[in-house]
Amino acid sequence: MQICPASFDLIDPILFSIGPDGFHFGTHEPAWFALRWYAIAYIAGLILGWRYMVALSRRAHVWHPAGTKTPKAPFNEPQVDDLLFWATLGVIAGGRLGYVLFYYPEMIWQRPQDIVLGITDGGMAFHGGLIGVSLALWYFARSNKLDLWRIADAAAVVTPIGLFFGRMANFINGELWGRPWDGPWAMRFANDPLCLTRHPSQLYQAALEGLALFAIINIATWKFRSLSKPGLNAGLFLLFYGLFRALMETVREPDNHMIPALQGIITMGMLLSLPMIALGGWLIWRAVKTDQPGKAAA
């Protein structure tokens, strides 16, 4: 593969590797084991999200309107510990299967072994991970007799943490780059076969899907007590992530895995974000409507 002179090549995608000749920082061959920044991003997102959810379980007052007497959180710390396992399983299984089904369905019959074994080379889809986590939350809530929307609202508070680290890992890996551009902060990526200067769209996505989304939901949580309205945080997450992702698709290199008639009109990322925007808007409407005196949930 041609290696381009990259404007960003300061961080090796591999933190360290271990092989027959010992321990090495960065990429080194042959290697028995290599720890990638991408794996660290997943671990950091899950651990920080878990600890934040534990903190939410200890602050019962944020789950109820101001003035509520003897408030109680909808779940406890041991339940959050159990949820970490199911969320991890949902992220990994859903992210990988979503990547295969949405972008490389031919892998199912051409290289089925790579569905599992190829995960070490990268290849995870956010929308697939979202579906996987949603199913994990549904199972967890049902098996523990908890309110699904309460669990989803808490997950919405912490998920942007993982999104931020994930997009930064994309940047370090030199993948999922932007469209060609010659602006002041354009970059070349070493793995780009065309060696073009491009938008560093991974950084844009880290800023919007990570930092901005985290700020929006946490302001709603701590200033406006959105956790007292079941489904509101989940709706905010789906709506704003969908909008931010659709916006970023205008500067991100589009996926080629689309129906030919739709290529050049809408990207796969946009297409997958439309249901999120619609569902998020409905959840926000439902939460606000239900919160009004005398109103029942739709």
Condensed to tens digits (0 to 9), the pLDDT of residues 69-88 reads 777 899 999 999 999 999 99
| Local confidence band at 227 (pLDDT 50, 70, 90 cut-offs) | very high
Torsions phi, psi for 58 (to 5 deg)? -95, -5
Residue listed under structure tokens 């659709």: 246
* Whole-number pLDDT of residue 296: 42
Q: Which of 135, 203, 153, 155 is nearest to 175 (CA)?
A: 203
CA separation, residue 96 to residues 47, 123, 150, 198, 231 (Å): 20, 7, 26, 27, 27
* Whole-number pLDDT of residue 106: 74
Q: What is the pLDDT of residues 283-293, one digit of tens each?
A: 999 999 876 64
% of the chain surpassing 70 pLDDT: 88
Q: Which of 197, 199, 202 is nearest to 173 (CA)?
A: 202
| Local confidence band at 258 (pLDDT 50, 70, 90 cut-offs) | low
* CA dihedral sign, ordered 25, 119, 38, 258: positive
Mean pLDDT score across all residues of the chain: 86
Residue listed under structure tokens 């439902």: 286
Residue 16 host element (H or E): strand 14-19
Asked if pLDDT for residue 181 goes beyond 60, the answer is yes
| Local confidence band at 10 (pLDDT 50, 70, 90 cut-offs) | low
Bridge partner residues of 198 (DSSP): 180, 187
Q: Which one-letter DSSP state was computed for residue 196? A: -
Asked if pLDDT for residue 197 goes beyond 70, the answer is yes
Is residue 233 within 8 A of residue 156, CB to CB? The reply is yes
Q: What is the pLDDT of residues 118-166, one digit of tens each?
A: 665 667 788 888 899 999 999 999 999 999 999 999 999 999 999 999 9
* Whole-number pLDDT of residue 147: 95
Q: What is the pLDDT of residues 90-104, one digit of tens each?
A: 988 888 887 777 777
User: Directed axis angle between helix 126-143 and helix 268-291, to 10°?
Assistant: 40
Region 186-210: what's the mean pLDDT? 93
CA gap 264, 284 in Å, rounded = 32
Chain centroid to CA 227: 21
Angle at 272 between CA 269 and CA 277, to 5 degrees: 110
* Whole-number pLDDT of residue 124: 76
Is residue 235 within 8 A of residue 287, CB to CB? The reply is yes
